[in-house]
Structure 1
Amino acid sequence: MPIPTVVREVRAFLSASLVRPVERQRDETPESRRRRRIVVGVTLVIGAVALGLALAVRPGDPLFYAATLGVAAIWTVGALVSGPLHLGEGHTRDGGRSRGVVQGILLGLGLMGIFLAGALVVEQIPLLRGPVLDLLDHARFGSLWVVALVTVINGIAEELFFRGAVYASLDSRFNGIGSTLLYAASTLFSGVPLLTFAALCLGLLTAAQRRVTGGVLGPIASHLTWSLGMLFLLPPILTPGG
């Protein structure tokens, strides 16, 4: 395929998946918006503390799985109690409509590629490499496939809450950046700076999808693609031959 054609295809894809929102009308009463904000605020505080405690569990300890699933339960209950959530609907490059799942997978793969390339740099910096390895120890010393299942459950829960409830609770002028900053802030108790940086990057991507589609399905697809890719592919880069 000629290079100009490839460029046009990529531009059309990015425009459809991240730029052009689908027209929709969803009105919330001031009372329902206020209720959603209260639920979001309480859930955010409880969930952030619970996440910090879960990540502090010693690698290999079965308590880690229960603690992490507990965090997922907090995000999910908070999202569902806050008010209505929507799957969303996006554009395709040819002007049709889709749920945005394939777009989400492709965007997740793109973000994963960027992070894996960045990991080659992180691998040379012990100050950054150490905390990330500590986080990955849960997969190295526990059951990788159980950690993968927990990762899927937690990823879905995070998107339901942050791109569902939190996004909907904020003013439309800053709900994208606001939901991203709150998502990143929820990881601060983890003590892993690169996890917070990752939350910022993933949050910006999925918030753009949320803006376009009006729902959580596309963001969930991106989140799971990125997080599972990092779980399986990042350790070999940071621990070559180990």
Structure 2
Amino acid sequence: MLVTTLARDLYNSIAADRDPDPGTDSVRRRWIVGLFLVIGAVMLAVSLRVEPGDAAFYPLTIGMAVVWTVGAFASGPLRLGSYSPVATRPPDRLGAAGLGVVTGLAVGGAFVVGALVARMIPGVSDLANQVLAFADYGSLAVVTAITLVNGLAEELFFRGSVYSAARPHNPVLVSTVIYVLVTMASGNVMLGFAGAILGTVCAILRRSTAGVLAPAITHVIWGAIMVLALPPIFA
């Protein structure tokens, strides 16, 4: 019943925007967002083109998280948001956090199932291994920590600043397209595909909760599942 309610609410949120953010100071926000988008995309392209095991990978990816975080707070205020799975209860942050957890587990589980199929497709498996190689050659604990920190930073920026800067021009679609384009700077189609799915889900969460808390939790849980579950599958 709870899953059905959450699914219905997420679907309804596409048609009914409950985010009160009017996109104040949109011109200033868009200039700042554009600047940090360019910087972040360049850093992403460089970080994922270094050889697995190269020590430069760590400062590059940490620096990327710093870029997204600074860009998020520099462009304007961020909202945590709220949610209630029960119509009779007022929305609150605990509800938004719970929605983020459930969605993160669901999306992560779907990706694991997809990985079980993708590993049997040579071309797709090779693309996945290009990214997962960083976990194989480096410290799993460090790579996991960097993945989670970057996931949080991306949500602050893309579902926080970029989403607000895109208003009122269909921010769910615009923020997701921008997220995919930046992700594609890595040169890996699989990352772009993952970005399209995750970006869409997280943008809908932003819209249905009016904040970054739910999408941030979803992204962090999804990232943890990817780092810990996918390497054994593609080994």
Range into which the TM-score falls when normalised by the shorter chain:
over 0.9
For 2:133 and 2:70, the matched residues in 1 are separated by 28
For 2:139 and 2:41, the matched residues in 1 are separated by 25
Q: Provide the secondary structure at the position in 2 that maps to 1:85.
A: coil
2:29 corresponds to: 36
Structure 1's 124 and 40: CA in aligned 2 closer, same or farther, altered over 3 A? same
Q: Deviations over 1:156-211 (max 9, x none)?
A: 11000000000000133410011001001111121211110000000010100100
| Pair 1:98 & 2:53 matched | no
> How far does residue 17 in structure 1 lie from its aligned partner after superposition?
5.0
For 2:2 and 2:22, the matched residues in 1 are separated by 35
Q: Provide the secondary structure at the position in 2 that maps to 1:91.
A: coil
2:214 corresponds to: 218
| Pair 1:137 & 2:166 matched | no
Q: Provide the secondary structure at the position in 1 that maps to 2:50.
A: coil
> How far does residue 15 in structure 1 lie from its aligned partner after superposition?
3.1
For 2:160 and 2:179, the matched residues in 1 are separated by 12
* 1:160-199 alignment runs, 5 A limit: 160-199=156-195
Q: Deviations over 1:24-69 (max 9, x none)?
A: 644454xx11000011111111111110101112111221111001
> How far does residue 130 in structure 1 lie from its aligned partner after superposition?
0.9
Whether the 8 Å contact between 1:22 and 1:213 is mirrored in structure 2 is no
Whether the 8 Å contact between 1:17 and 1:103 is mirrored in structure 2 is no
Over aligned residue pairs, what C-alpha RMSD do you find? 1.7
Whether the 8 Å contact between 1:156 and 1:224 is mirrored in structure 2 is yes
> Which of these two proteins has the greater Rg computed from alpha carbons?
1
Identical counterparts, % of pairs: 40
TM-score under structure 2 normalisation? 0.92
Gaps of 5+ in 2: none
Aligned match for 1:119, one of 91, 96, 115: 115
TM-score under structure 1 normalisation? 0.90
Query: How many residues were matched structurally?
Result: 230
For 2:173 and 2:17, the matched residues in 1 are separated by 19
For 1:65 and 1:111, the matched residues in 2 are separated by 27
| Pair 1:13 & 2:9 matched | no
2:66 corresponds to: 73
> How far does residue 218 in structure 1 lie from its aligned partner after superposition?
0.4
Q: Deviations over 1:114-140 (max 9, x none)?
A: 111111221111111112112111111
For 1:152 and 1:226, the matched residues in 2 are separated by 9
For 1:212 and 1:43, the matched residues in 2 are separated by 26
For 1:25 and 1:122, the matched residues in 2 are separated by 40
Letter of the structure 2 residue corresponding to residue 75 of structure 1: W
Whether the 8 Å contact between 2:23 and 2:168 is mirrored in structure 1 is no
Whether the 8 Å contact between 1:22 and 1:90 is mirrored in structure 2 is no
2:196 corresponds to: 200
For 2:78 and 2:181, the matched residues in 1 are separated by 23
Structure 1's 114 and 26: CA in aligned 2 closer, same or farther, altered over 3 A? closer
Aligned match for 2:43, one of 50, 55, 68: 50
